[in-house]
Amino acid sequence: MSKKIKRIGVLTSGGDSPGMNAAIRAVVRTGIYHGLEVYGIMRGYSGMVEDEIVTLENRSVANIIQRGGTILKTARCKEFMEYEGRKKAYENLTKRGIDGLVIIGGDGSFRGAQIFSNEFNIPCIGLPGTIDKDIAGTDFTIGFDTAVNTAVEAIDKVRDTAEAHDRLFIIEVMGRDAGYIALHSGIATGAENILIPERKTDINDIIASLAEKEKRKKLVNLIIVAEGDEFGANELSSLISEKLPTLEVRVCILGHIQRGGSPTCMDRLLASRMGYHAVESLIEGRHNVFVGILNNKMNYTPLNEAVKKKQHINDEWMNIVKILAT
Ligand code: F6P
């Protein structure tokens, strides 16, 4: 029998993602509803190591559901990678009686939680907060939908200027080693080509298809490149310009704007539902899992599996890209 949880800590770790605040709010309010004390740990695992821990009340999380970023701030903490750092973190939790943790972050953050929990027997529940959608065990991660919508808005604008000048634009989007932001934003903006790390990029094929389009006077083309693809946007631009010097090529790297902004309705709902279930899970005695939603049903994946598996990209999507972009 796991012992009854009385005090929980919540933290955000790794790259921020829109909807983290909505998740914090859900954790705090569900915890308080169940009579728990809730603590906010600042700057990810750093706050645990350095004892930057604050009490959170219902009012502390008022007016944040619509805000991007994270009120708890976030960081990637080197000290927590060492046993000594984790021991310090454990002591800071125990002096307050914190006996359960909710970690909002990506797979790197889950890896830290898994190790910590095994060493010090503190139940940890993960919430997938990352724009990359690179964790298996959930259809969506908190922040992905907002990031894709931000990318779509930006790419639509780039298309306007591409049309005006008859140019080829190569647009690089984020996603670390995953191609989901590129795939979704590329399909939604009618991109002519989408390059993702999950599929081999055939540069000769791209050049042949651009040459064929140039012949039939289709000069406006958008190529969306995931940052994790084997070809970076700049390298791709040089290769194309070398082979097809008459094309006007420009590169646009969207960068961190994809991580900011007010979360979409979908991300707010996802974060609220997952945050609620994270606390319910701790109370029910679950530990070392992350909360996901698969086919609209709650799904709990052991943290160590989340670290190992990535989401699979279906070939159907690749066919759609090929057929629709002519
Ligand atoms: O994991 C989220 C993410 O935005 C990735 O898409 C990107 O590769 C990385 O973080 C950027 O990290 P940083 O903000 O540390 O440059």
Q: Which residues contact 67 (CB under 8 A, 6 or more apart)?
A: 21, 262
pLDDT confidence band for 101 (50 / 70 / 90): very high
pLDDT digits (tens, 9 = 90+) for 13-31: 999 999 999 999 999 999 9
Domains and CATH numbers, the chain: 7-143+263-306 (3.40.50.450), 144-259 (3.40.50.460)
pLDDT of residue 311: 85
Q: How far apart are CA 323 and CA 192, in angstroms?
A: 10
pLDDT of residue 325: 84
Is the shortest distance between the CB of 175 and ligand 1 below 6 Å?
yes
Catalytic site residues? 132
- Average pLDDT of the segment spanning 59-83: 96
120 CB burial (10 A radius; 0-12, 13-18, 19+): middle
pLDDT digits (tens, 9 = 90+) for 121-171: 999 999 999 999 999 999 999 999 999 999 999 999 999 999 999 999 999
Q: 14 C-alpha to center of ligand 1: Å?
A: 8
pLDDT of residue 310: 81
With residue 128 as reference, give the H or E element that holds it. strand 124-128
Encoded amino acid at 71, one letter? I
pLDDT digits (tens, 9 = 90+) for 261-303: 999 999 999 999 999 999 999 999 999 999 999 999 999 999 9
Is the pLDDT confidence value at 308 over 60?
yes
Q: 82 C-alpha to center of ligand 1: Å?
A: 23
Nearest CA to ligand 1 atom 7: 176
Report if pTM > 0.95. yes
For a mutational test of ligand 1's pocket, the pick from 16, 133, 176, i.e. the residue with the most ligand atoms closer than 8 A to its C-beta, is 176
pLDDT of residue 152: 98
Chain-wide mean pLDDT for the chain?
A: 96
pLDDT of residue 2: 63
pLDDT digits (tens, 9 = 90+) for 82-92: 999 999 999 99
- Average pLDDT of the segment spanning 33-49: 98
pLDDT confidence band for 79 (50 / 70 / 90): very high
Is the pLDDT confidence value at 1 over 80?
no
DSSP designation for 230:
S
Q: Which residues contact 202 (CB under 8 A, 6 or more apart)?
A: none
Q: 122 C-alpha to center of ligand 1: Å?
A: 28
Nearest CA to ligand 1 atom 1: 15
pLDDT of residue 304: 87
Strands across the sheet containing 221-226: 193-195, 221-226, 168-173, 249-253
Is the shortest distance between the CB of 130 and ligand 1 below 6 Å?
yes
Structure tokens at 12: 């955000």
Q: How far apart are CA 274 and CA 265, in angstroms?
A: 14
Is the shortest distance between the CB of 131 and ligand 1 below 6 Å?
yes
pLDDT of residue 133: 96
Nearest CA to ligand 1 atom 6: 175
pLDDT of residue 138: 96
Q: Are strands 100-105 and 124-128 parallel, antiparallel or unpaired?
A: parallel
- Average pLDDT of the segment spanning 48-69: 98
pLDDT of residue 246: 95
- What percent of the chain lies above the pLDDT cut of 70? 99
Is the pLDDT confidence value at 235 over 60?
yes
Atom of ligand 1 nearest to the CA of 76: 15
Is the shortest distance between the CB of 15 and ligand 1 below 6 Å?
yes
Q: 227 C-alpha to center of ligand 1: Å?
A: 10
